[in-house]
């Protein structure tokens, strides 16, 4: 199969879909891999390294998209890439279509097959392709919060971990999944006071066992969120409903009651965000102010550390990319329930119910 790897076009997106080592695995299996010139430069991979791995370097995006049967990406296609979509293409990437009707329509109109990294689910309920980037985003969130809390950056002027005799920041994390747990681990390690909320008692029990009292766990209700947010210096939203829009758990009224200069970081922005006032931002202009609180809602947070992120992403996606390349779209999704559950669009038809409901669009079950 001809497999394409383009240079990402999203703002400050330095990741690339595969490392040269990942390309070599596909090449050794007899597949032709096309890599756009300088696609890996942001992750410190040269074209020569991809050539050594067996890739063919092509000069522009149009050629990669035009020749590819299977396109491996990091982020959903941007508007400038819509023109390259075609009906003979299977797209395998982070899609987050519930947050974008425009992208959903572009993909269905082009007749592509679209499989979402973030919806691949293993038999035990894990999300193995979302987990590594969730972990990166969770690890970065407290570091970003610490930076944003500095007075000259718009924050309250609080040292995240405090000093002898002075409290550090009070950090509220909503969601005890992969990103929330990682955020709590880093925040606690930075000596902040951490409160972790979730509506799963099992998740809270697991957090209690892991942190052994270093992090306070609270069952998430509207009242509990309201009380926690009111006294927080930092709120990190890490709520996930796989494939669907994130629920809005922090309202505008809650933000209005927060302390001036408090910081809110919405890791769930890719899925529409879990704060009412969330709107996607970029690494160029990452923050904005609502009721004197600073919002950070960059929709590709892991892109800030591409060397780490690209390696972690390749480790997770490669087995599924091999399956799609070896068997083709129809056979792969027929034999792999993990891939089948991640199909958003099949031959131009929307098959993801949660995406359809988010945009009031028609859909059909994949089995049809």
Report the b/e string of 199-235 with b at 16+ CB within 10 A: beeebbeebeeebeeebbbbebeeebbeebbeebbbb
| Residue 44 backbone class (left: φ over 0; alpha: ψ -120 to 50; beta: rest) | left
- Helix and strand totals (H; E) in the chain: 12, 15
Contacts 24+ apart (CB under 8 A), 358-361: 358/97, 358/98, 358/99, 358/101, 358/244, 358/245, 358/272, 359/98, 359/101, 359/104, 361/101, 361/104
Show the beta-strand stretches assigned E in the chain.
2-5, 32-36, 56-58, 70-72, 90-93, 113-116, 170-174, 193-198, 216-219, 234-237, 263-266, 287-290, 293-296, 343-346, 349-350
User: Kind of pairing, strands 70-72 and 90-93?
Assistant: parallel
How many residues does the structure list for the chain?
368
Q: What share of the chain is helix, strand, coil (3-state, %, to 5)?
A: 40, 20, 40
Catalytic residues: 96, 270
CB 76 within 8 A of CB 93: yes
Q: Report the side by side order of strands in the sheet with 263-266.
A: 216-219, 193-198, 170-174, 234-237, 263-266, 293-296, 287-290
Name residue, tokens 């990406």. 73
């Amino acid at each position: 199969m001809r497999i394409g790897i383009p240079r990402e076009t999203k703002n400050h997106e330095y990741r690339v879909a595969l490392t040269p080592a990942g390309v070599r695995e596909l090449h050794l299996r007899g597949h032709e891999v096309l890599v756009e010139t300088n696609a890996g430069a942001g992750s410190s991979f040269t074209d020569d390294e991809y050539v050594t791995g067996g890739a063919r370097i092509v000069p522009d995006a149009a050629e990669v998209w035009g020749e590819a049967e299977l396109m491996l990406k990091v982020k959903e296609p941007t508007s400038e890439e819509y023109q390259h979509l075609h009906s003979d293409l299977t797209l395998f990437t982070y899609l987050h279509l519930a947050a974008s009707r425009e992208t959903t329509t572009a993909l269905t109109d082009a007749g592509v097959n679209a499989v979402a990294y973030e919806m691949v689910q293993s038999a035990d309920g894990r999300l193995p392709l979302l987990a590594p980037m969730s972990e990166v985003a969770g690890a970065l969130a407290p570091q970003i919060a610490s930076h944003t809390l500095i007075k000259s950056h718009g924050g309250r002027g609080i040292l995240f971990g405090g000093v002898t005799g002075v409290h550090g920041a009070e950090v509220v994390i909503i969601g005890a999944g992969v990103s929330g747990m990682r955020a709590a681990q880093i925040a606690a390690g930075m000596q902040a006071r951490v409160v972790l909320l979730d509506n799963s008692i099992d998740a809270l029990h697991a957090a209690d066992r892991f942190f052994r009292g270093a992090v306070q766990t609270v069952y998430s209700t509207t009242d509990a969120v309201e009380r926690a947010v009111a006294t927080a210096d930092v709120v990190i939203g890490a709520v996930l409903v796989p494939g669907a829009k994130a629920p809005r758990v922090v309202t505008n009224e809650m933000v209005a009651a927060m302390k001036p200069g408090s910081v809110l970081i919405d890791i769930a922005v890719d899925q529409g965000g879990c704060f009412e006032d969330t709107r996607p931002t970029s690494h160029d202009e990452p923050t904005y102010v609502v009721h004197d609180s600073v919002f950070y809602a960059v929709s590709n947070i892991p892109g800030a550390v591409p060397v780490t992120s690209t390696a972690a992403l390749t480790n997770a996606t490669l087995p599924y990319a091999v399956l799609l390349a070896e068997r083709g779209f129809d056979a792969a999704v027929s034999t792999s329930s993990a891939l089948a559950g991640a199909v958003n669009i099949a031959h131009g038809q929307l098959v993801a119910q949660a995406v359809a409901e988010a945009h009031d669009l028609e859909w059909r079950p994949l089995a049809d």
